[in-house]
Amino acid sequence: MTPAVEFRRVSKTFGVTRAVNDLSLTIARGEFFSLLGPSGCGKTTTLRLLAGFEAPDPGGAILIDGADVTMMRPYQRNLSMVFQSYALFPHLSVERNVAFGLEQRKLPRAGIIPRVRQALELVRLDPDTFSRRMPSQLSGGQRQRVALARALVLEPAILLLDEPLGATDLKLRKEMQLELKALNRRLGITFVYVTHDQEEALTMSDRIAVMDDARVAQLGTPAEIYENPRTAFVAGFIGASNFVEGRTGGRADGRWTVRRPDGLLFRVPDQPGLHDGMTVRVAVRPEWMDLFRPDQVPPEGNAISGSVREVIYLGETMHVIVDIAEGESLTVALRNEGQLIKPLPWQAGDRVAVGWLPEDCQVLEDH
């Protein structure tokens, strides 16, 4: 099956800065694909390259539905886009805004009006109330919906979205995230979504490309990215992570033993690329760790002893910060079962053991 979008060795340089560096990836038809990363990582440039607002450096190619579009202008590519600032035309009414693309295709007026109505209903804006209004008379959320309607009315195969929820407040954002996901499923359109919000990407995407410094750090499903991060950057950017380091020394039962500088041993699962005597960095998520009394550590798991520095109340979870060595600490996330009825037994100063299962470790590719 031809992928909807393909990037082949695409780079983009602005002056002396490399914004995108040798990028190759494919996006499947109907997929909700996110480009995720901090500002300056190259995700927006990648989207703009796909849209055609920038041309890649010579040597790279961009394909849509198997056809090479690298040399084509945006209006020659069959794409739709929702902009971060919505980019509604202030001098045109809502109706004329949504109809713009259809008018460009020289559709007859009679054919345009019902499609505009449909598009507005699709984004849950009543056509009779909103058609004649001007953008300046709309709220932020309404403008967002008009921008979406304007893009969807063209029934595109691919929809590009450039951080469209950036300016929305939290509650509305959650709502819109679910609506966008539902639209993707219902209409079968390929969504290419740019965001810096990792929670958003995890919620909506089928696959995520995490970008850092003009490259893709990791590409995978939300579960793969979250549970098996490959680099320290991905582990730290998506959710929170604890990091422990050590040297490998001996393998048994499909597990490697890792020795810390202070002599402590813990076990990690076998991965290709591991050999004896390597320095490794291991990531473990706070929610996969647990706290025990120093003498009550379960034998099959890993454990590091330390003392509690702080207990932080976060509502849904409790974070316990444990100092394990000079300048080193681990954060353990425990479910809050109600501090008023079932409080945690841990307090600052307590000596504890932090334990976790070897399977919950992730040996990172950079060390």
Partner 1 sequence: MTGRLPRWLGAIVALVYLFLHLPLLVLMVFSFNASRFSVEWTGFTLEWYRQLLERPDILAGLRVSLVVGAISTVVATALGTLLALALARGRFRGRGALESLLYVPLVTPEIVAGISLLVLFAGLKIALGLTTIVIAHVAFSVSFVTVVVLARLAGMDRSQEEAALILGADEWTTFFRVTLPQLLPGVVSGALLAFTLSFDDYVITSFVAGSGTSTLPVVVYGMVRRNIDPTINAISTLVLVFTTLLIWLADRAGRERFAQ
Partner 2 sequence: MTDRRRRLLAWLGRRPALQAWALIAPAGLWLLLFFLVPILLMTGYSVMPRGTYGGVESGFTLEHYARFFDPLYLAILGRTVVVALLCTVLCLLLGYPVAWVIARSRRWRNLLMFLVVLPFWTSFLVRTFAMIFLLRDTGLINTMLLSLGLIEAPLTLLYTPFAVLAGMVYSFLPFMILPIYASLEKLDPSLLEAASVLGARPAARFRRVVLPLSMPGVVAGCLLVFIPALGSFLPSDLLGGAKQMLIGNLIQNQFAAARHWPFGSAASTVVMAGVLAGVLLYLRTRDRPAPAMPG
Q: Which DSSP string corresponds to 299-317?
A: TTSEEEEEEEEEEEE-SSE
Query: Among residues 2, 137, 279, 307, which is the contact residue for partner 1, using CB under 8 A?
Result: 137
347 burial type by CB count under 10 A (0-12 exposed, 13-18 middle, 19+ buried): exposed
C-alpha–C-alpha distance, residues 218 and 227, integer Å: 12
- Is residue 73 a contact residue for partner 2 (CB under 8 A)? yes
Return the one option of partner 1, partner 2, none that residue 83 interacts with (CB less than 5 to 8 A, by type): partner 1
Residue 75 or 313: the one with the smaller Cβ distance to partner 1 is: 75
C-alpha 16, offset from chain centre = 28
The HSE-up count of residue 196 (CA atoms within 13 Å, CB side) is 10
Report, in Å, the least distance between residue 273 CB and partner 2.
43
Looking at the Cβ atoms of 101 and 355, the one nearer to partner 1 is 101
Give the separation between CA 354 and CA 294, rounded to whole angstroms.
9
Token duo for residue 198: 């990792």
From the list partner 1, partner 2, none, partner contacted by residue 80 (C-beta under 5 to 8 A by kind)? partner 1
For residue 65, give both structure tokens.
């539905």
In this structure, the dihedral spanned by the alpha carbons of residues 118, 189, 80 and 27, taken in order and rounded to 10 degrees, is 170
Give the contact letters, 59-88, x = binds to partner 1 (CB under 8 A), - = no.
--------------xxx-x-xxx-xxx-xx
For partner 1, the binding residues in 90-129 under the rule CB under 8 A are 90-91, 100-101, 104-105
Binding part of the chain for partner 2, among 69-77, 97-105, 228-236, 312-320 by CB under 8 A, reads: 69-77
Least distance from partner 1 to the Cβ atom of residue 257, Å:
55
Take residue 219 and report the two structure tokens written for it. Answer: 């590409």
Under the binding rule (CB under 8 A), the answer on residue 67 touching partner 2 is no
Among 25, 55, 232, 274, binds partner 2 (CB under 8 A): 55
The first and second tokens of residue 123, run together, are 């984004």
Q: Are 219 and 43 in contact (CB under 8 A)?
A: no
Where do the H-state alpha helices sit in 71-166? 94-104, 109-122, 127-130, 140-152
Site string for partner 2, 74-93 (x = CB under 8 A): --x-----------------
CA distances (Å), origin 280, targets 198, 243, 330: 26, 10, 17
The answer to whether residue 293 forms part of the interface with partner 2 (CB under 8 A) is no
Q: Of 35 and 153, which CB lies nearer to partner 1 in the complex structure?
A: 153
89 binds, among partner 2, partner 1, none (CB under 5 to 8 A by kind): partner 1
Stretch that binds partner 2, among 68-76, 79-87, 169-177, 217-225 (CB under 8 A): 68-76
Contact 215, 269 (CB under 8 A): no
> Which of partner 1, partner 2, none is residue 71 near (CB under 5 to 8 Å by kind)?
partner 2
Contacts of partner 1 in 139-198 (CB under 8 A): 150, 154, 160
Between 84 and 228, whose beta carbon lies closer to partner 1? Answer: 84
Count of residues in contact with partner 2, rule CB under 8 A: 5
For partner 1, the closer CB: 153 or 282: 153
Spatial distance between the Cα atoms of 279 and 257, rounded to a whole number of angstroms: 12
Point out which residues pair with 251 in neighbouring strands.
256
Q: Which stretch binds partner 2 (CB under 8 A): 67-75, 129-137, 183-191, 356-364?
A: 67-75
**Cβ closest to partner 2, residue 73 vs residue 293:** 73
Distance separating alpha carbons of residues 99 and 87, to the nearest angstrom: 15
Two tokens at 231? 């680099």
d(CA 82, CA 69): 20
CA atoms 23, 24, 29, 32: torsion sign? negative
Q: Hey, CA dihedral for 93, 99, 103, 104, is it positive or negative?
A: positive
Residue 55 touches partner 1, criterion: CB under 8 A: no
Q: Is 44 in the site for partner 1 (CB under 8 A)?
A: no
Interface residues toward partner 2, by CB under 8 A:
55, 71-73, 76
Interface residues toward partner 1, by CB under 8 A:
51-53, 73-75, 77, 79-81, 83-85, 87-91, 100-101, 104-105, 134-137, 150, 154, 160
